[in-house]
Structure 1
């Protein structure tokens, strides 16, 4: 059973996916990459391919955290994927965490999970968050209740270290951040 699932759709933002997965795994947090469809090979927004650990249909357990990386085309695919939406709603209903970075907070806003929550996103995506009744902040990483959002590729490490802090502790986040020269 994995503690974290990161959903991957064609056109994902590579920096956000790889940085977050790498930092979580360095922190010894079991993390699986879940393809949004049945194909394990997924190509990012900048033509970098990754191999997901599981297809969507095989990710049946409920992890402690689900993460959505951004990227324009990847986010568009997630916005149209209703089974993913149901999974995200079930995650919150079970009292488990969600996180989204860059354009991906739009998915959470579209399905009503950011209503009356503080959140941030990639510049230019604010209208969609506001339509979902989110409260936009200027911070690079925002946690409100069970949901953490972040702004984009340059904030991916801070976002990942915040998730490490939530899932493990401050000491682990500090140790990994310092070892990687982020802190």
Structure 2
């Protein structure tokens, strides 16, 4: 069974987190959410339960675990996901251990997904120039370092990027296809009943 680690922080965009998590679960992917604390937060007690994250619109989401780098490796997961939301993306993308794991996942030929402002992690992680997209609000910070695209979803090797809440479904379904195949994507998309002519 494929597995995914989906990061979340205070300020994460709720739709990008929940749609990705939910869609992957529908495909049979084992998903784990990990809370990334802000740099100025007090160190967490490893024995304490993970906190809820307060999303960009105030939704409280209870996470599965604290982000712990040594158990977040590509030996444990097939996919590493960084959602957007300006504040949440800043917290996640600026975390040195997240940056390290982005590079390691790609080196180990595992998938990394970034959506919306989460694509800033490609820059902070020092990834080489390649096709990429993001939310328009951070385009100016990325377009000189990457081959910037305005397609809803961009796949560059094992790196998958997308634009925002409105592209969360095609982003998640693309991840399903890459992990589980085209037939599984169609199987998952069908019962969702997307209007005719949409991306599914």
Q: Using the alignment, how far apart are the partners of 1:72 and 1:60 within structure 2?
A: 23
The Cα shift of 1:147 comes to: 0.2
Say whether residues 1:43 and 2:57 are aligned partners.
no
Alignment partner, residue 23 of structure 1: 23
State the superposition RMSD in angstroms. 1.6
Q: Using the alignment, how far apart are the partners of 1:167 and 1:75 within structure 2?
A: 24
> Gapped runs of 5+ residues in structure 1?
none
1:122 to 135, 149, 170: 135
Q: Using the alignment, how far apart are the partners of 2:51 and 2:7 within structure 1?
A: 11
Alignment partner, residue 101 of structure 1: 115
SS, match of residue 29 in structure 2:
coil
The Cα shift of 1:2 comes to: 6.8
Does structure 2 retain, via aligned residues, the 8 Å contact 1:34–1:59? no
Q: Using the alignment, how far apart are the partners of 2:72 and 2:155 within structure 1?
A: 26
SS, match of residue 104 in structure 1:
helix
> Gapped runs of 5+ residues in structure 2?
38-43, 45-49, 195-199
The Cα shift of 1:179 comes to: 0.8
Say whether residues 1:92 and 2:106 are aligned partners.
yes
Q: Using the alignment, how far apart are the partners of 2:17 and 2:61 within structure 1?
A: 10
Give TM-score scaled by structure 1 length.
Answer: 0.93
Does structure 2 retain, via aligned residues, the 8 Å contact 1:110–1:128? no
- Radius of gyration: which is bigger? 2
* Alpha-carbon spacing, 1:77–1:35, altered in 2? closer, same or farther (3 Å): same
Does structure 2 retain, via aligned residues, the 8 Å contact 1:2–1:32? no
| More displaced 10-residue stretch of structure 1: 2-11 or 20-29 | 2-11
Deviation sequence 1:96-126 (CA, Å, 0-9, x none): 110100011011122222x321111101211
1:53 to 34, 39, 64: 64
Moved over 3 A (4+): 58-61
The Cα shift of 1:61 comes to: 4.1
Give TM-score scaled by structure 2 length.
Answer: 0.85
